[in-house]
Homo-oligomer: A and B are copies of this chain.
Amino acid sequence: MSTPNSRVPPGSDDDRAARVALTWLVEPGNRTVWSMVQSHGAPETVERLMRGAIPDGALQAAVLARAGDFDPRRMAEETLRRAAQLGARIVVPADDEWPRRVDSLAVLELDSPGHINLNVRPPLCLWVRGSWPLGDALERSVSVVGARAATGYGKQVTGDIAYGLAEHGWTVVSGGAFGIDAAAHRAALAAGGLTVAVLACGVDRPYPAGNAAMFERIAETGLLISEWPPSSEPLKHRFLIRNRVIAAATTGTVVVEAAARSGALQTMNRVLALGRPAMIVPGPVTSAMSVGCHELLRANPGATLVTGLPHVLETVGRMGEYYAEPARGPEHRRDALDEESALVLEAVPAKGAARPEELATRAGLALRTVLRRLSLLELAGLVERRDDGFALPRPSPDGSAGREATR
């Protein structure tokens, strides 16, 4: 760690270790700690907390009680070493793969001052298991959340929506719980899509254990992420702290079933406060599992009633910051590309195919960026995947190009 007078560059080993120490000392999202990190950097913040040099007495007492005889620097180093053995990495705001949307929590203001609203600021770091770059995985993503005690109806509707989102190239984000969350993850996996579980415990011990096989599949093809260091327990209050990340990291959020006063309602209040699309699936008024959904729709003119995938795509499609709606022909689709996608597309040879590694070299981009862009370009019908790499689609007899014409 640094001394008080030396600022440590963000993203350095010291910065990472300090952020790990901070999430071990104080629950993530803490307003005071986050502000101190913004002003003084993470290492300096650790020093001040350990020295007892902060004005917030309650926070100071909690930190010292938590630290006890432990040295936070050594704890952090030990945690980072263990995480590496487990195949988990830490991502901090200075990293390319940091998911920028979560930083909008920096200015989130909530009406009710309740205890849990103290923990509403952006994450200091995120632990990740899985190989996709985190930011890319969340770029076009939709949260699908709801009741643990979901009904058959809720799980069916969730499955339809999540499967369709994955088919359309959207990452499905949820909390890994039983019920709606698991139905969302499983449908995305079944569609061969990308899914991200945002956990309220360590990524080495995803909760609940009953979903262990599902979590392994998510770690293999998608991502398990958490603000808490490996081996952290899923304490009850952590789910509410976690929910703000589900709300802030994605383009929009769908709630499928929710009982009165459930956690999904709190997630949706975050979504609404952030001005993101808040999509609610109604249900039978005779079902206790839809009471919360109907409450949300009655209380929030800004919430959108959705009855299935078309409404969800219509809603989040409007928000697409990086990717336009499918247009009429390949020329229109090309025009709508972001710069990186355009570079990748230009690198694809006019005849024959090229492997992603070659394309990365030609385009001057990182391999992971190229992989992500290729996946989107393929969905848009602008490239096609072959045994020997990626190629432009073969023109159809009438001169147009596109997946319709070539498959």
Residues of A within 8 A of B (CB): 153, 156-157, 281-286, 290-291, 294, 297-298, 301, 304-305, 307-308, 311
Contacts of A286 in B (CB 8 A): 153, 156-157
Contacts of A282 in B (CB 8 A): 282-283, 285, 290, 294, 297, 305
Could you list 29 examples of A-B contacts with CB < 8 Å? A153-B284, A153-B286, A156-B286, A157-B285, A157-B286, A281-B285, A282-B282, A282-B283, A282-B285, A282-B290, A282-B294, A282-B297, A282-B305, A283-B283, A283-B284, A283-B285, A284-B284, A285-B307, A285-B308, A291-B307, A294-B305, A294-B307, A297-B297, A297-B305, A298-B304, A298-B305, A298-B311, A301-B301, A305-B305
Q: How many copies of this chain sit in the oligomeric assembly?
A: 2
Closest 6 CB pairs of A and B: A282-B282, A285-B307, A294-B307, A297-B305, A298-B305, A284-B284
Distance (Å) between the CB of A367 and the closest chain B CB?
42
Contacts of A153 in B (CB 8 A): 284, 286
| 6 further contact pairs, Cβ within 8 A, besides A156-B286, A283-B284 | A282-B297, A282-B305, A283-B285, A284-B284, A294-B307, A298-B311
Q: State in angstroms the CA–CA spacing of A301 and B311 once bound together.
A: 16
Contacts of A157 in B (CB 8 A): 285-286
Q: State in angstroms the CA–CA spacing of A307 and B291 once bound together.
A: 8
Nearest CB in chain B to that of A311: its residue:
B298
Q: State in angstroms the CA–CA spacing of A305 and B304 once bound together.
A: 12
Nearest CB in chain B to that of A291: its residue:
B307
Q: State in angstroms the CA–CA spacing of A286 and B256 once bound together.
A: 13
Distance (Å) between the CB of A89 and the closest chain B CB?
39
Nearest CB in chain B to that of A282: its residue:
B282
Contacts of A281 in B (CB 8 A): 285
Nearest CB in chain B to that of A285: its residue:
B307
